[in-house]
Amino acid sequence: MRAIIVLSVLALSACQSLPPQQCTATALIGNQETTVLIYGIKTEANQTKYYAGNPFGWKWVSKNNFTSSTCDK
């Protein structure tokens, strides 16, 4: 019984919450406009990158992959 409780606590502690959404952007994927939630913005080597959720798989993606955005930076 104690092992079940310990495993339950460990499993629940592994859950992560999403970072706060900063803005949204529109990407053209398969000739269809898709709204993507943006969770971070950074600039590297004079290139702006967005930390994009699905469908980009939670990766830093170049701003050039989007047709429009509501991001300030």
Q: List the structure tokens of 71.
A: 């991001």
User: Is residue 23 included in any domain, yes or no?
Assistant: yes
CATH code, 50: 2.30.30
d(CA 41, CA 22): 8
Written as one letter, the residue type at 18 is L
pLDDT at 18: 75
Separation between Cα atoms, residue 4 and residue 52, nearest integer Å: 36
Type of residue at 64: N
- 54-69 confidence digits (pLDDT tens): 999 999 999 999 999 9
Q: What is the model's pTM?
A: 0.72
Instruction: Give the alpha-carbon dihedral of 29, 35, 39, 42, to 10 degrees.
Output: 60
Per the structure, the complete domain to which residue 40 belongs is given by 18-69
pLDDT band at 4 (very low <50, low <70, confident <90, very high): low
| Cα 60 from chain centroid (whole Å) | 8
Residue 2 lies in a domain: no
* Assigned domain for 39 exists: yes
Over the stretch 24-44, which tens digit does the pLDDT of each residue have? 999 999 999 999 999 999 999
